C-alpha cells in the first residue's frame, strides 16, 4: 500500500511540475483515442551499476492515436534518463514513472541498481573451493546471456563458467577468507546462489535454496553435478 501511495504522489508531483514547465501539453484533440492504462512488465527490476537498459511499458489499448509517453526518474543519482536511454548512474533504489501525454494514465517501476557482479581476485582472499552445478531455469537450460553468482550474504564470491556448449553444466570457483576449514569442520560462511537476466532485468535466488558451507572442498563433479534451479 505504501508503494502505491508513493507512486501516486510521485506521478502527481511530476505532472504538476512538468505541466507548469510546458513539458506536457495539456491541450489535445478530444477526438483522438487516448491511452487508457500503462503497465510495466515488472513491478521491480534489477540493473547492474553502469549499465544502460530498456523499459517498455505496455499501453492499452494498442490502437491509441498518440502513444507518446514521458518517463522520469525519481532519483537521477541512481537512474538517469537522457532521450531514449536509461542508465544506472549509482547503486541504490528509485522509481521510474511513465506518464501518458495527456497525463490520464501512469505507472511506476521500482528500480534496484546493484553493484556489478565481477569475478573476485584470488589476491583478495586466502582460500577457495570448486562447485560443479547443473543449472536449470524454469526447467530449461539457461540462455547464454544469463549470469550466475555464488554469494556470501550480498558479496559476490564467484561467477559460473559454462563447461559445455549446451550451457547446462557450470563450474564455480568460490573464494573466502576462511582458511582452517575442512569437510568435517566448515567455516562460518554460507554460500548461496543467484541468477541475473539482463534481458528481463530480473535477479533471483535459487529456488531450491542450495546452500553450501565454505569448507575448501570440491562439491559435485562434472559427471555428478549439484542441481541448481531458478524459477
Section 132-146 average pLDDT: 83
CATH annotation of 2-114: 2.60.40.1080
* Mean pLDDT computed over every residue of the chain: 85
The answer to whether the predicted template modeling score (pTM) of the entire model surpasses 0.85 is no
Q: How many residues does the chain have?
A: 231
30-39, 87-96, 152-161, 206-215: lowest mean pLDDT where?
A: 30-39
For the chain, the distance separating the N- and C-terminal CA atoms, rounded to the nearest angstrom, is 26
Tell whether the torsion through CA atoms of 205, 207, 213 and 219 is positive or negative. negative
Tell me if 2-114 shares its fold with 122-230.
yes
How do the domains of the chain map onto residue ranges? 2-114, 122-230
Mapping DSSP to helix (H, G, I), strand (E, B) and coil, where does residue 2 land?
helix
Question: What cell numbers appear for 87 in the block?
Answer: 542508465
Show the CA angle centred on residue 211, arms to residues 208 and 217, nearest 5°: 130
Of 207, 213, 194, nearest to 154 by C-alpha is 194
CATH annotation of 122-230: 2.60.40
Contact between residue 162 and residue 111 where contact means Cβ atoms under 8 Å apart: no
User: Does the pLDDT value for residue 171 go beyond 80?
Assistant: yes
Task: Give the number of C-alpha atoms closer than 13 A to the C-alpha of residue 121, restricted to the C-beta side.
Answer: 2
Contact between residue 227 and residue 204 where contact means Cβ atoms under 8 Å apart: no
Q: Which residue has the higher pLDDT, 36 or 217?
A: 217
Mapping DSSP to helix (H, G, I), strand (E, B) and coil, where does residue 13 land?
helix
Separation between Cα atoms, residue 124 and residue 16, nearest integer Å: 51
**What pLDDT digit, counting tens, does each position of 87-111 carry?**
999 999 999 999 987 777 899 999 9
Amino acid at each position: 500500500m505504501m508503494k502505491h501511495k508513493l507512486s501516486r504522489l510521485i506521478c502527481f508531483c511530476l505532472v504538476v511540475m512538468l505541466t507548469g514547465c510546458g513539458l506536457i501539453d495539456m491541450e489535445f484533440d478530444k477526438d483522438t483515442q487516448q491511452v487508457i492504462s500503462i503497465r510495466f512488465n515488472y513491478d521491480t527490476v534489477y540493473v547492474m551499476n553502469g549499465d544502460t537498459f530498456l523499459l517498455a511499458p505496455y499501453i492499452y489499448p494498442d490502437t491509441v492515436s498518440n502513444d507518446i509517453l514521458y518517463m522520469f526518474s525519481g532519483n537521477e543519482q541512481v537512474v538517469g534518463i537522457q532521450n531514449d536511454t536509461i542508465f544506472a548512474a549509482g547503486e541504490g533504489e528509485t522509481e521510474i514513472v511513465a506518464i501518458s501525454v495527456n497525463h490520464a494514465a501512469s505507472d511506476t517501476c521500482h528500480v534496484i541498481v546493484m553493484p556489478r557482479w565481477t569475478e573476485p581476485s584470488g589476491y583478495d582472499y586466502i582460500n577457495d573451493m570448486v562447485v560443479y552445478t547443473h543449472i536449470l531455469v524454469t526447467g530449461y537450460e539457461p540462455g547464454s546471456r544469463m549470469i550466475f553468482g555464488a554469494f556470501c550474504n550480498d558479496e559476490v564470491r564467484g561467477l559460473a563458467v559454462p563447461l559445455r556448449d549446451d550451457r547446462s553444466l557450470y563450474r564455480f570457483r568460490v573464494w573466502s577468507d576462511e582458511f582452517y576449514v575442512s569437510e568435517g569442520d566448515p567455516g562460518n560462511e554460507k554460500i548461496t546462489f543467484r541468477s541475473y537476466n539482463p534481458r528481463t532485468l530480473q535477479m533471483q535466488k535459487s529456488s531450491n535454496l542450495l546452500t553450501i558451507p565454505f569448507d575448501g572442498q570440491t562439491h559435485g563433479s562434472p559427471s555428478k553435478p549439484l542441481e541448481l534451479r531458478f524459477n
